[in-house]
Amino acid sequence: MSHGARVIRTGVSSGAAAAPPPVTVASSSAGSDAEPMDGGYFRSCAGMLKVAQMISLLIGFISVNNSSWTDYSAYSFFQIVTMCDLVMILFFYVMHIFRVYRKLTCVSWPLAEFLHYLIGTILLLIGSIVAAAKSYNITGLVAGATFGFLATILCVISMWSSYKVSCITQSTSKYR
């Protein structure tokens, strides 16, 4: 996903012996393609947003898990949704860091990430509403529901930015 300057050599001259090509350094914030990790993704807006989502989901899960609650079905649903979202966000985060999307081109990764955020956000919103309604003013449950709502807002922002980037760049590139 980096668009830095690259030097591409197509051949050598036929008159002289072939000299080794000069070493060039790609001028990109994301690093060169030969590096196994994308260091620029750590500092990107999308990367920091994924980290914020994971932290808020983890805090929401821990808050609900360490509280005493009586409605087993409501809070077990909330815990399952937060952990599934956390695992999927971690999966996409690792996929971006290790550039797996470049090796597995048979999957539309922007679409997969968008669908994950769409389904996960709806389930997280439902779980957070139910957790807030059944909290009975127990501080741990209220904190869990609050962090669930925060994670929902962060997921909506990620979903919107994912849709905006994938659809706008495709629609503008047709006319160039």
Q: What is the pLDDT of residue 166?
A: 58
In a domain, 153, yes or no: yes
In a domain, 166, yes or no: yes
In a domain, 110, yes or no: yes
List the domain range (segments joined by +) for residue 80.
Answer: 69-173
**For the chain, how many structural domains are there in total?**
1
In a domain, 32, yes or no: no
Given a cut of 70, the residues of the chain with pLDDT beneath it are 1-34, 165-176
In a domain, 77, yes or no: yes
pTM: 0.73
50's CB contacts (< 8 A; 6+ apart) are 89, 92, 93, 158
Residues 18 and 22: their CA atoms lie apart, in Å, by 12
pLDDT in tens, 28-59: 444 456 677 888 888 899 999 999 999 999 99
In a domain, 86, yes or no: yes
Q: What is the pLDDT of residue 151?
A: 97
Residues 107 and 103: their CA atoms lie apart, in Å, by 10
Q: What is the pLDDT of residue 39?
A: 81
- Residue 62 in tokens: 């821990």
Q: What is the pLDDT of residue 73?
A: 87
Q: What is the pLDDT of residue 78?
A: 95
In a domain, 12, yes or no: no
Q: What is the CA 127 to chain-centroid distance, rounded?
A: 21
In a domain, 2, yes or no: no
Q: What is the pLDDT of residue 27?
A: 44
Closest CA to 82 of 51, 63, 58: 58
